Each structure stands twice: as structure tokens, then as C-alpha cells.
């Protein structure tokens, strides 16, 4: 059996201009420390500066692991639901998305799944049977990959939020459905650095 594990992380906290803040840099470093014990094969990141900076910050704890941009990880709306699929609390959120924008987002979502959401091919003799990859991206692509792993309806990506540098792990095994190992886990962060980038409210 071959296994591919994706360690999905939202970028660290960023300012209004999309630049990583000191808090975001600290969060990314702590995530890197947590992942230092994992045999990581590659770190991939969104083209946006906050994700790229987060990836390079956490990769300081992963010596000799390649860090590479992946266009499919860019922040995007993966699926624009119909009016019947849209929860009342999301009413108005998709106003202004025209058909061309919705189609472009869906094409990106399909490319994201095609590139990353699958088990590796059969291992050749002497090769490792598992790979571990870190994907530093944004809340919406993470939500889409979780929805895909659960084989849920397309609109169910709505509301699957991730805090800054929270860790989600999905395992893809040949011949078996994907497994959600963890979602939005922040145990590598001290209490004061958790839940940033999340809607306000009482949090445990």
C-alpha cells in the first residue's frame, strides 16, 4: 500500500495588506517545530506573500526540504453555491461573483484536487511507500480538500474554517477512501496565539 499524507496549514496571521505579521511569523515557526519530527518530503505554498513567508519560516525547522510554489494553492472560492444551497448566514457573500469568476474558481479547485488529493503510484523497488507533504495555503482550499476527502456535496466547504497555522492532516491510501486524521488542530500554539483569523466568539 502506498500512502500520501498532506499536512495542510493556513498561513500565519497577516496584516491588512496580506503581509505576515510578527505574530504570524511566530505561529509559522511553532508549526515548523511541530513538523520537525515528521519525515517531510516537500513544502508547497500558495503564490501569495503571506503563505510564501509562512512556508519559508516553518521550513527553517526542516533542513534540506525543498520549498516550492504551487499555483493551485492560491486563495480562491472553489465553488459558488446556488441560492438553494446557500445557508442564510452566507446570503450576500457571493454577490458580485459572475459566471466567469465562478468557473475560474471551480477550475482551480479541480486542479488542486487533481494535483494533491490522491495516493501516490505504486512504489518502485527500494523506494519509500509513503510521502509526507506540507501545503501552506488558505482557509478555502483547505475546506475544499476536506470536503473532497469526505465526499460531501460541493457546497459543504462553506463554514469549514481554519485558524492561522492550524494543522489539518489528510491521508490518501491506495485502494481506500481518504482519511481525515485531524482538522484545525492548534496544539502547537500557546493559548494567546490560537484562533487568529477565525470569527470572534468564545473558544476553548
Identify the band that residue 123 occupies on the pLDDT scale cut at 50, 70 and 90. low
The order of strands in the sheet holding 67-69 is 67-69, 42-45, 130-137, 3-10, 167-173, 179-185
- Cα–Cα distances (Å) from 70 to 67, 74, 126, 131, in that order, read 10, 8, 28, 17
Q: What are the pLDDT digits (tens) for 7-56?
A: 999 999 999 999 999 999 999 999 999 999 999 999 999 999 999 999 99
pTM higher than 0.85, yes or no? yes
Kindly tell me if the per-residue pLDDT of 202 is higher than 70: yes
- Cα–Cα distances (Å) from 136 to 109, 121, 144, 155, in that order, read 16, 23, 14, 23
Domains in the chain (CATH in brackets) are 3-193 (3.40.50.1240)
* Rounded mean pLDDT, 65-93: 94
In degrees and rounded to multiples of 5, residue 73 shows phi and psi of -90, 0
Q: Among 155, 116, 163, 115, which residue's Cα sits nearest to residue 139?
A: 163
CA atoms within 13 A on the CB side of 38: 22
Burial group, residue 100, by CB count within 10 angstroms (0-12, 13-18, 19+): exposed
Distance between CA atoms of 158 and 154, rounded to whole angstroms? Answer: 9
Specify whether the CB–CB gap between 8 and 147 falls below 8 A.
Answer: no
Length of the chain: 204
Among the residue ranges 55-69, 100-114, 118-132, 176-190, the one predicted with the least confidence is: 118-132
Distance between CA atoms of 199 and 204, rounded to whole angstroms? Answer: 14
Q: What percent of the chain has pLDDT over 90?
A: 82
Among the residue ranges 54-63, 96-105, 138-147, the one predicted with the least confidence is: 96-105
Model pLDDT, residue 90: 87
Q: Among 166, 157, 202, which residue's Cα sits nearest to residue 186?
A: 166
* Rounded mean pLDDT, 168-188: 96
In degrees and rounded to multiples of 5, residue 70 shows phi and psi of -130, 115
* Rounded mean pLDDT, 124-134: 78
Amino acid at each position: 500500500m502506498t500512502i500520501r499524507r498532506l499536512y495542510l496549514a493556513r498561513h500565519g496571521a497577516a496584516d491588512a495588506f496580506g503581509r505576515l505579521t510578527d505574530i504570524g511569523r511566530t505561529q509559522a515557526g511553532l508549526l515548523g517545530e511541530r513538523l520537525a519530527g515528521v519525515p517531510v518530503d516537500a513544502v508547497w505554498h500558495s503564490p501569495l506573500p503571506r503563505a510564501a513567508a509562512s512556508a519559508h519560516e516553518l521550513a527553517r525547522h526542516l533542513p534540506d526540504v525543498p520549498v516550492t510554489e504551487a499555483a493551485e494553492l492560491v486563495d480562491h472560492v472553489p465553488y459558488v453555491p446556488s441560492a438553494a444551497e446557500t445557508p442564510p448566514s452566507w446570503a450576500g457573500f457571493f454577490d458580485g461573483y459572475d459566471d466567469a469568476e465562478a468557473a475560474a474558481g471551480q477550475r482551480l479547485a479541480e486542479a488542486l484536487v487533481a494535483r494533491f488529493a490522491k495516493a501516490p503510484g505504486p512504489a518502485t523497488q527500494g523506494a519509500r511507500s509513503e510521502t509526507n507533504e506540507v501545503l501552506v495555503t488558505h482557509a478555502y482550499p483547505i475546506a475544499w480538500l476536506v470536503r473532497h476527502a469526505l465526499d460531501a456535496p460541493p457546497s459543504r466547504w462553506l463554514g469549514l474554517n481554519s485558524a492561522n497555522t492550524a494543522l489539518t492532516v489528510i491521508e490518501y491510501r491506495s485502494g481506500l477512501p481518504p482519511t481525515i486524521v485531524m482538522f484545525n488542530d492548534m496544539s502547537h500554539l500557546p493559548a494567546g496565539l490560537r484562533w487568529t483569523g477565525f470569527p470572534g466568539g468564545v473558544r476553548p
